[in-house]
Amino acid sequence: MALRAEPEPQRRRLLSTGRLFFVLVAALLYLGWNTQTQRYISPNRGVGYTLGIVGGSLMLLLLVYSLRKRWAWLSFLGSTPGWFRFHMVLGIVGPLCILYHANFGTGATNSNVALFSMLTVAASGLIGRYIYVHIHHGLYGRKLELGELRAGAEGLRSLSGSISFLPELVTRIESAEQRLLKAGPQLSFLGFAKPIVVNLVALEARWQLHRYIRQALYAGARRSAVVALEHRRLGFTARCYVDRRLAATRRVAGFEGYERLFSLWHALHIPLIFIMVIAAVIHVIAVHVY
């Protein structure tokens, strides 16, 4: 068995601004849910009332991104990518303020309608973010083209020399890739379901390939002292290569389905925002008039 492995891939940073923000929001949600906030915050006055005004204003600002994206003459407000980033922050911070304003509980009918409309919009935004990154270069990059994904997947195949110590693994990976490309419904109107099926098939293929790597290296370690010594490093290199190949093929296989999903999501998300705004306006009028 030829023993050659590429240097170990660099691991991703554990901490980033986005992850720190997520941890902070999760901590505030946990604190608010498990604390009797009504002992310290009243929605009718003081901090609680202010949180309602701030949260409502932030949710209203969500509409600015849609307007900026469609009307070029609003360029004086800032760039569209900048508003996109701000839009996502608003969609998290706004609901957080409102939840503290409502003491993480329900109230009158008009309050409940406004609250659940807002939570639906927030949940819809998180779903949209997940779909968005599958058809763009990262969270803020330009839209991907299917040809780019195919070229990237082909480029990874040329690196198969990095796992020459497991020659049969390449054949197994190629077989798994073929299953991925054929997975999911073939009818165009069911294309939105394809990413779900592709992800399930990819998980199964990853488990099978990782198991083969463990078994092959274990058998090789019994025959060769060198393999036994390098067992962990070789296993890590092989698993990373498998994961990169499957991830690239999975993106190719699911791309058109994600495009269709994003179109369906967009058609639903925008009306939800307007429903939320109307419900919030009715809530504000009901609180201050009655």
pLDDT tens digit string along 216-230? 888 877 777 776 787
Find the angle CA(182)-CA(187)-CA(188) to the nearest 5 degrees: 105
Alpha helices (H) along the chain: 17-34, 46-70, 80-101, 109-132, 146-157, 167-182, 194-223, 225-229, 231-289
What mean pLDDT is reported for the chain?
80
Q: What is the mean pLDDT of residues 241-248?
A: 85
Alpha helices (H) along 166-230: 167-182, 194-223, 225-229
Q: What is the mean pLDDT of residues 147-176?
A: 68
CA dihedral 270, 273, 278, 280 (to 10 degrees): 180
Task: With cut-offs at 50, 70 and 90, classify the pLDDT of residue 183.
Answer: confident
Task: With cut-offs at 50, 70 and 90, classify the pLDDT of residue 187.
Answer: low
Task: With cut-offs at 50, 70 and 90, classify the pLDDT of residue 1.
Answer: very low
- Which amino acid is located at 96 in the chain? L
Report the C-alpha gap between 7 and 247 in whole angstroms.
20
pLDDT tens digit string along 68-92? 888 888 888 888 878 888 888 898 9
Q: What is the mean pLDDT of residues 12-29?
A: 80
Q: What is the pLDDT of residue 14?
A: 57
CA 251 from chain center: how many Å? 14
84/186: higher pLDDT: 84
Check whether 31 has a pLDDT greater than 50.
yes
Report the C-alpha gap between 5 and 236 in whole angstroms.
10
256/265: higher pLDDT: 265
- 136 and 128 in contact (C-beta within 8 Å)? no
CA dihedral sign, ordered 181, 183, 184, 188: positive
Task: With cut-offs at 50, 70 and 90, classify the pLDDT of residue 2.
Answer: very low
Q: What is the pLDDT of residue 285?
A: 86
Q: What is the pLDDT of residue 157?
A: 58
Report the C-alpha gap between 93 and 115 in whole angstroms.
14
Q: For 107, list phi and psi in degrees, rounded to 5.
A: -145, -130
Q: What is the mean pLDDT of residues 248-266?
A: 82
